[in-house]
Structure 1
């Protein structure tokens, strides 16, 4: 038998026949992303415990069969479930979906990688908890652990998600098990509340990484506040936006704005509210200016949105006045939404799939109730870069991000995400119809031109995807060599997620380093 056939027999013995999937239909679905891919998956493994993950990786090492781990597999816009390397066996961790620990006073939740944002919210609500986990702009059925490991972003005071996790349990490619922070010490009572532990901190090694499979993680939660208000402000002119952006940065730095807030352009908002108006344009793309002008009459050119949190109404009123002063001079008034019942809001942990509508923007068929962009052949690619939090830097980066998609016939769907007082994420979405001939190729060419222009200007990615396989990110240090040495130490046969994050391993190092999205 071949090495793969021998490994499959061993995996069936370890997991059970039904949890080693080789049916063509299931494999084809796993090989599909929101842009063109050619990789083939020979099998899908579905372990249900850390011990089974260890067994899977030991078998992979013994027979030198590459394995690619995913949690929920909803990494839409970055590659979904598709491995970077052809012939990699997919290891799905969705059966590992237990909530392992919860502490209301110390505000934490410990979960396995199959636990989704929807599941965690429902569980906390059933407990009558006043705590919440950050909600994300992606699917509510995405994995909390998977999103955190990708250093994803969300809404609320813990929007930079990986900054608020600790106590990882990790299975190395050899099958060895390690725990980070104090969790490695027997009976360590502060393991879920103290991130660093003793000695070098290992957590970051397993984020955007191919060095191990995370099988447990503790999330620090936020507490619902007595005063909570969502706000919205429309901006008609970009010149007004950059000045207000600087003012809001000051409010984030002094603690007035403790939660994430966002700047959306008109095209992003329109793509959430409706699909492309093919009837009005007689089937032509991209969207003509006169139609966009009609939408701007109600929305503006950009919108600023977020939420204020405070322990009482008195302090909340102070925050409202400070926010209003920062936005003074904008022709359209600052608006505050009424308090939601029970504090239930996306800014306080309620998951929503409303943003998935963006993936269907250019589709000619209606978005179904159970949206699934891979299944529905939506064309969608993300490009996200880090930008210093100043009006001048934001204006420069947005200028590039606005121009490049137009050159390729796409609408520039743009957002600036304020997740910290010092750095913005500029997030660009390319939406297209995979059923239209040539769109896959044109979208990938657009992405590569956009990524190249932004990095040349000094704006580098916050995360990368499978679409970034040909990207070359030059480094000015010896970090690529260090990564290869780490990979050699923990994965001597190179079986875990090969060709992701550690270019040139095994084998000769390329001249320039490149990364690939988990």
Structure 2
């Protein structure tokens, strides 16, 4: 159902943005309403501003006519909701036209961008200039937005794996169209604005991450200098018991600084789903994957894979660090040797984006992964469930047991990964992959997601990121934070026009 004042709002939005940048064609709207799971929300219009001033104009019109607006950056939030707003009747504000790189400093290692700048664009821009620096890349689409991913607190590869922890200087448009800057950026001629995160007084940056309090139109990212020595590693682990001991040993190496980059623990299903699609030809079209078929894969690749990279200032130090890793995993894991890399090889641990992991979203599809993967377009069924876990083998074992057991109850393969984003915290990330063209699979996958979220929360493992499905009930809190956040929302958005329903707002 469209908002009652939509036509008046559309007239004013067209005057502010131009006719071509206010879309109401059914084909465009249908595409924007499609995610990697079932959705019912309807979008009345798509707005495409090209500047901060135009974002302000869009929000002024939205306030005047009480038409809700939902901003997205690149629209590649696959597995979490894509571009679909949480509620019906929200005009979609796409910021992809705001794709300028605004500032770069090689000496101080920072890059300032607008929300339409993608991981591929930033990588190419730095490469063309022969920069010795790189920006952390992610396992998702290279066309994803830097700012969009950071605001969702996405994780990446390298020493800056907690991406939002390495940004500053946000420019934000509030729902009432006021413009604010965070940290030192709010002061005139503040030379330290792109290098000092906190500024003076209360820090506002976190208020605009995973929230509906403002539209971020600029952000500064701190870059990493490429290490002269970088060598990736992959180990395979045969048994769960070996994994937990290996995990504790690697946690200590991360704490002491031997492992500066993020590293990953993938179970067999996750590794298999990146390498190939579901073997319908062997199962006779039946799902889920039978256990005996995984056994053959485990013989070659193990029950778990541990991957990461050693970086150092020279080969001598790098070799010593590698020996520490080898020693820590001795008797627990087998190192895979992929042979020498080609001369032009570029590592994801030095910021090279890749869409290789998108193959997971096509796991249950019956057609091959296309050259240009687009899970929404191709009706891939895919839902992420992501929670934070203390970096100990005991906690990881308990959370992983839930993540393995629950999907099997719904005839889905348990695609499980543990991501070491710091020496203290793991992200447990579960992928529910299915085929949206199979009758009933949308409903079954969503029921699995809700059951998985409930069991993890009941065990004390809370989401670190929520997608459009959210949590099946209101997450329990034991303090007054919800009341405080409600007062903040009412103060900056009394009409409730910005992203209603997002993250509980």
Relative to the length of structure 1, the TM-score reads 0.96
Tell me what 1:483 maps to. 485
Aligned pair 1:501/2:499, yes or no? no
The answer to whether the 8 Å contact 1:327/1:334 transfers is no
Shift of residue 470 of structure 1? 2.9
Tell me what 1:150 maps to. 152
The answer to whether the 8 Å contact 1:229/1:337 transfers is no
Aligned pair 1:324/2:320, yes or no? no
Whole-angstrom CA distance in 2 between matches of 1:99 and 1:453: 43
Aligned residue for 2:97, secondary structure, equals: coil
Whole-angstrom CA distance in 2 between matches of 1:469 and 1:403: 19
Tell me what 2:425 maps to. 423
Of residues 450, 453, 471 in structure 2, which corresponds to 1:451? 453
Shift of residue 315 of structure 1? 1.0
Tell me what 2:34 maps to. 32
Tell me what 2:376 maps to. 374
Shift of residue 19 of structure 1? 0.1
Shift of residue 493 of structure 1? 0.5
Q: For 1:377-407, what per-residue CA distance to the aligned partner results, in whole angstroms no more than 9, with x for missing partners?
A: 0000000000000111111110110000000
Tell me what 1:60 maps to. 62
The answer to whether the 8 Å contact 2:453/2:471 transfers is no
The answer to whether the 8 Å contact 2:450/2:471 transfers is no
Shift of residue 114 of structure 1? 0.1
Tell me what 2:386 maps to. 384
Of residues 138, 142, 145 in structure 2, which corresponds to 1:140? 142
Of residues 103, 108, 111 in structure 2, which corresponds to 1:109? 111
Tell me what 1:231 maps to. 233
Change (3 A) 1:370 1:110: same
Q: For 1:230-285, what per-residue CA distance to the aligned partner results, in whole angstroms no more than 9, with x for missing partners?
A: 01100000100000100000000000000000000110011111110001000110
Aligned residue for 2:386, secondary structure, equals: strand
Tell me what 1:182 maps to. 184
Tell me what 1:206 maps to. 208
Tell me what 1:193 maps to. 195
Shift of residue 468 of structure 1? 1.6
Aligned residue for 1:501, secondary structure, equals: helix
Whole-angstrom CA distance in 1 between matches of 2:342 and 2:494: 53
The answer for unaligned runs of 5 or more in structure 2 is: none
Aligned pair 1:399/2:401, yes or no? yes
Aligned pair 1:47/2:46, yes or no? no
Aligned pair 1:77/2:79, yes or no? yes
The answer to whether the 8 Å contact 2:69/2:499 transfers is yes
The answer to whether the 8 Å contact 1:387/1:424 transfers is yes
Shift of residue 318 of structure 1? 1.4
The answer to whether the 8 Å contact 2:466/2:503 transfers is no
The answer for unaligned runs of 5 or more in structure 1 is: 504-518
Q: For 1:420-473, what per-residue CA distance to the aligned partner results, in whole angstroms no more than 9, with x for missing partners?
A: 000000000000000000000000000000000000000000100111253321
Relative to the length of structure 2, the TM-score reads 0.98
Number of residues paired by the alignment?
Answer: 503
Shift of residue 339 of structure 1? 5.8
Q: Runs of 4 or more off by more than 3 Å in structure 1?
A: 333-343
Shift of residue 334 of structure 1? 5.8
Whole-angstrom CA distance in 2 between matches of 1:95 and 1:178: 21
Whole-angstrom CA distance in 1 between matches of 2:122 and 2:271: 28
Higher mean Cα deviation, 438-447 or 366-375? 366-375
Shift of residue 342 of structure 1? 6.1
Shift of residue 341 of structure 1? 3.8
Aligned pair 1:315/2:325, yes or no? no
Whole-angstrom CA distance in 2 between matches of 1:45 and 1:349: 31
Aligned residue for 2:71, secondary structure, equals: strand
Shift of residue 317 of structure 1? 1.5
Tell me what 1:159 maps to. 161
Aligned pair 1:356/2:396, yes or no? no
Q: CA RMSD in A?
A: 1.2
Whole-angstrom CA distance in 2 between matches of 1:340 and 1:393: 39
Shift of residue 314 of structure 1? 1.5
The answer to whether the 8 Å contact 1:378/1:433 transfers is yes
Whole-angstrom CA distance in 2 between matches of 1:395 and 1:154: 23
Of residues 86, 89, 95 in structure 1, which corresponds to 2:88? 86
